[in-house]
Structure 1
Amino acid sequence: MVGAVVSANPLQLDVRSHIKCLAICCVITISSFQYGLDYALVGGFMAMPGFLQVFGYYNESTKAWAIDPTVQQLISSLMTIGTFVGSLSVGAFSSKFGRRHGLWSAAILNFISTAVMIGTTNLGALYFARFVLGISVGWFLTFAQVYISEAAPAHLRGVVFAVYQCQLSIGSIVGASIDYGTHLMLSKQAYQIPLAMFFVAPGIQTIALFFFPESPRWLMTQGNEAAAESSLRRLRNMNIDEAEFQAEFNEIKTSTAQQIDYHRGKHLWIEMWKGVNLRRSLLSISVICFHCANGSSWVNIYGVYFLTVAGVKEAFAFSTMITCMGLLGVLASSFVVRHIDRRVILLVGVGACGLCQLAFAVAWTAAPGTAVAGKVVVAFISLFTFFYTAYAPYAWLLGGELPDNHLRAHTYGLGTALNFLGNWLGVFTAPYFINPASLGWSAKYGYIWFGSNMVVFIFTWIFVPETRDRTLEEINEMFLPEKDIESEKEKN
């Protein structure tokens, strides 16, 4: 649906009036750069002789370096298990310490795990470092997304999440490009140089966070009204009209007070599953899990390896091109997100992703191992990546918009954890399907993910509500029973 949305957002509905907040949110989204970087770098390592000489083996029959499927699974999946553990702990940590301290803690874990990965030649130490890095990534992603959901003006949340996805795509491009530049090195530097990139983004964000305010909505849930007002003022431009500012702040204060009163003395992990919160939690978690249900995890992690075993020449070069298609996808969607409903973007994106998976599976079934089939695989993986990144940020966005302020970190953390659990399942099982030493399905693996995408499409059509340009307080009211809305109107 295209058209204006009637919203209670009291702020000016433009971009220029909110440059300061957008700049802060853009720095916070650096967290997703780290996630994209890991996907691209480690996926490339699986086909890199310098890495395989240390952690793989030489296959005498093929006269080439190879990697054991179990080692391949653990290197990739342990990071995903770590993200599951990290995301699951976000709710409890965030309730006590806030969003900024979560991002700082993620940076510390990142520095430790990266140092271990660069220095070790032991598989056990590598597995441990990958797990710790996963906890770091889980915290980076979840705390960053909760922060920008609560800080950005309602009409610009879609734009901010498009920037978030851009950072992820740029991380993937940087990772794929560095891998391409070092993959022919026959020493440990082939992977050590790319791994050093893990220090850059968290270092920048760690310093910047000293100058950024805590989330005003989190501060309000702590009962610190003065700090919340100060934080919101720091997020908005200095020349903001005072009436606009007070209208936004009062809306946050009133809605949060209502939510605090409702949840007082209750266990938040239990309240997520009661009354209207049950629907909100299930919707939020389901939409977040779209990311693991569409097949993006195996394409991102095993892209270079998959193209290599499929007989595609210049697999590293094509991998870089595919990641560039991802950036084009999110840039394209960023121009329309303020004018097109979230549901429409999700439906088009999910439907296109499913058809792309079906297309290269059919091509490989018809002409397995041929040059033509290889070109079709590259073409439709590129299109898949374009459409996935075009809708992916808005699945994250919806997941953060749907819970109330008090439960957001708990719900979002659980949803992100379950998404990464699904990613782990996809990453862990993919080698059984695509590795020639196992089933050797190659591109026919796409049949499974076509079916999964169709389930997601139907779910979106039936259950996902529209939230474009709604303030978080308006969205909270959307889910309230009618008697509670009337009660609140009488109080005011």
Structure 2
Amino acid sequence: MLGLDYSLVGGFLSMPRFLEVYGYYDNELESWAIEPTVQQLISSLMTIGTFTGSLLVGPFSSRFGTRHGLWGASVLNFIATAIMLGTTSTGALYFARLLLGISVGWFLTFSQLYVHEVAPAHLRGITFAVYQAQLSIGSICGAAIDYATHDIDGRCAYQIPLAIFFVAPTIQSILLFFFPETPRWLMIKGREEQAENALRRFNEIRGSTREQVEQNKKALFLEMWRGTNLRRSLLAIAVVCFHAANGTVLLGQHLQTYYLDIAGVENPFAYSLMITCMGLMGVLFSVLFVRIIDRRTIMLGGVMACGLAQLAQAVTWSVAPNSIASGKVVVAFIALFTFFYVAYAPYAWLLGGEYPNSALRSYSFGLATALNFLGNWMGTFTAPYFINPASLNWGPKYGYTWFGSNMMVFVFVWFFLPETRDRTLEEIHEMFEAEVPARKFKTYVCTTVERYAAEGAKKDVMEHDEQTGAIKFESETVEDRDSKRA
């Protein structure tokens, strides 16, 4: 849904039939245009909605769970899309954009929370690659549909793309009836029998989650900033905000206006489709190495490549500004930036959800997502002052700024980011509680979760023996149990 909105609505701002309804005719240019205020509100209200929706994830998830959050996102999406399809009023459009933003914020955050809590530790990286691929596929579909309909006469030119907003939420809403609520959320709510039905092998989850809930029975938002939770919350916020810190603002509408002009690109719809395909190639490439390369290595390589891509376009424009050749080089490095960004981006989301305490995950991750959207909005809002000829007139030299921010992120990853590849959420909890330094997470040997698993296994054997009338051995070891069962 986020990918669809990015491509579809971004394309509407260059679509004559959309501009006939919400814009005005410019006699000097002899074409349809849109007021800057309308353009900004269409984009910013969506961002404000995602920010607000992400902040609401913690309280909503704590009470109703992730499945109901995804259903709620679908309902809001249906209402917002219906309004946008039927209205010609800018006021109604603004309201629908705000509502759609809340919906997309919920889709984005609740889906990731669900993946964090149900995916096996060794497959979480692959699962998040699939998640990122869905974002890219949504963008490709949006760009392709806009390209196919932008010349249609009448409002159908943009109504047909808008109707696509109904498809994915409808499919997901139906499939969710066949999906259980996450066992960790059920454990937090004390519904152990349901948790066991959702996931039979959950001894480690049961013991660790009980401990985390006992430690965080007070106001959850305040608990995020106390004790070891402070480090975990700050790390989650920092790594999720990497998305706003590496310069993805240049992939927005400013790229499709200013950058395309200097590069001599005549068809922004076709270009948008091409650049989005580069993103999909990036995430598919990442699937090849995510199981064998550490999270920290992926982060370091990703932010370094993104920073160098930003630096290259800035240097090019400094050497030969306002030339067609340098403009094409800038576009080429934007394409490379997109490839490398999307190759590492899903694992920033992954780490942001792995670090928080299970009892606080929805609050910490929701806040991190909201602050990331706030950062994106700030970047989008301030970018015109840097690149516009009427202001600082930096143009692609704006990349110097993002090169610097990427290097700061690189240093942060090197010194502070813990390694969590193939670790269960319970193991990660144990290491944070033990205040293990970031550089020692990879080699640390967890013992508490093993004890929980062994105790649970022993309890299962005793309960089985009671039910079958077999003789119980209180001192039975796991090896004895396996031998007897065999």
Scaled by the length of structure 2, the TM-score of the pair is: 0.87
Q: What SS class does the counterpart of residue 406 from structure 1 fall into?
A: helix
1:294 aligns with 2:236: no
Name structure 2 gaps, 5 residues minimum: 437-445, 456-486
Q: Aligned match of 1:277 in 219, 225, 229?
A: 229
> Following the alignment from structure 1 to structure 2, what is the Cα–Cα distance between the partners of residues 67 and 214?
45
Aligned counterpart, 1:101: 68
Q: What SS class does the counterpart of residue 8 from structure 2 fall into?
A: helix
Range that drifts further, 57-66 or 96-105: 57-66
Q: Aligned match of 1:121 in 88, 106, 110?
A: 88
Q: What SS class does the counterpart of residue 340 from structure 1 fall into?
A: coil
Shift of 1:167: 0.3
Aligned counterpart, 1:73: 40
1:82 aligns with 2:49: yes
Label 1:81 to 1:389 Cα distance change in 2 as closer, same or farther (>3 A).
same
Aligned counterpart, 2:345: 392
Deviations 1:250-288 (Å, cap 9, x if unpaired)?
100000011111112x11111100011000000001101
Larger Rg: 2
> Following the alignment from structure 2 to structure 1, what is the Cα–Cα distance between the partners of residues 38 and 422?
46
Shift of 1:437: 6.4
Deviations 1:382-409 (Å, cap 9, x if unpaired)?
1011001000000000000001110000
Amino acid at match of 1:48: M
Aligned counterpart, 1:3: none
> Following the alignment from structure 1 to structure 2, what is the Cα–Cα distance between the partners of residues 70 and 285?
31
Aligned counterpart, 1:165: 132
1:112-151 counterparts in 2 under 5 A? 112-151=79-118
Shift of 1:476: 0.3
> Following the alignment from structure 1 to structure 2, what is the Cα–Cα distance between the partners of residues 442 and 186?
35
> Following the alignment from structure 1 to structure 2, what is the Cα–Cα distance between the partners of residues 334 and 482?
31
- Whether the aligned pair in 2 keeps the contact of 1:39 and 1:301 (CA below 8 Å) is no
Label 1:482 to 1:294 Cα distance change in 2 as closer, same or farther (>3 A).
closer
Label 1:451 to 1:98 Cα distance change in 2 as closer, same or farther (>3 A).
same
Aligned counterpart, 1:28: none
Aligned counterpart, 2:2: 35
- Whether the aligned pair in 1 keeps the contact of 2:24 and 2:34 (CA below 8 Å) is yes
Deviations 1:457-492 (Å, cap 9, x if unpaired)?
111111101000000000001111379x98999997
Amino acid at match of 1:258: E
Aligned counterpart, 1:52: 19
Label 1:482 to 1:398 Cα distance change in 2 as closer, same or farther (>3 A).
closer
Amino acid at match of 1:163: V
Q: Aligned match of 2:187 in 207, 212, 220?
A: 220
> Following the alignment from structure 1 to structure 2, what is the Cα–Cα distance between the partners of residues 105 and 150?
19
Label 1:172 to 1:270 Cα distance change in 2 as closer, same or farther (>3 A).
same
Label 1:418 to 1:382 Cα distance change in 2 as closer, same or farther (>3 A).
same
RCO higher in structure (CA 8 A, sep ≥6): 1
- Whether the aligned pair in 2 keeps the contact of 1:40 and 1:300 (CA below 8 Å) is no
Scaled by the length of structure 1, the TM-score of the pair is: 0.86
Aligned counterpart, 1:176: 143
Range that drifts further, 157-166 or 448-457: 448-457
> Following the alignment from structure 2 to structure 1, what is the Cα–Cα distance between the partners of residues 400 and 235?
26
Range that drifts further, 430-439 or 130-139: 430-439
Q: What SS class does the counterpart of residue 407 from structure 1 fall into?
A: helix
- Whether the aligned pair in 1 keeps the contact of 2:427 and 2:449 (CA below 8 Å) is no
Shift of 1:108: 0.4
Amino acid at match of 2:227: G
Q: What SS class does the counterpart of residue 359 from structure 2 fall into?
A: coil
Shift of 1:435: 5.1
Aligned counterpart, 1:379: 332
Q: What SS class does the counterpart of residue 58 from structure 1 fall into?
A: strand
1:429 aligns with 2:396: no
1:335 aligns with 2:315: no
> Following the alignment from structure 1 to structure 2, what is the Cα–Cα distance between the partners of residues 462 and 95?
33
- Whether the aligned pair in 2 keeps the contact of 1:357 and 1:447 (CA below 8 Å) is yes
Shift of 1:381: 1.1
Shift of 1:436: 5.7
- Compute the RMSD of aligned alpha carbons: 2.1
Deviations 1:55-80 (Å, cap 9, x if unpaired)?
22333333333333222221111101
Label 1:378 to 1:420 Cα distance change in 2 as closer, same or farther (>3 A).
same
- Whether the aligned pair in 1 keeps the contact of 2:208 and 2:449 (CA below 8 Å) is no
- Whether the aligned pair in 1 keeps the contact of 2:204 and 2:450 (CA below 8 Å) is no
> Following the alignment from structure 1 to structure 2, what is the Cα–Cα distance between the partners of residues 476 and 301?
41
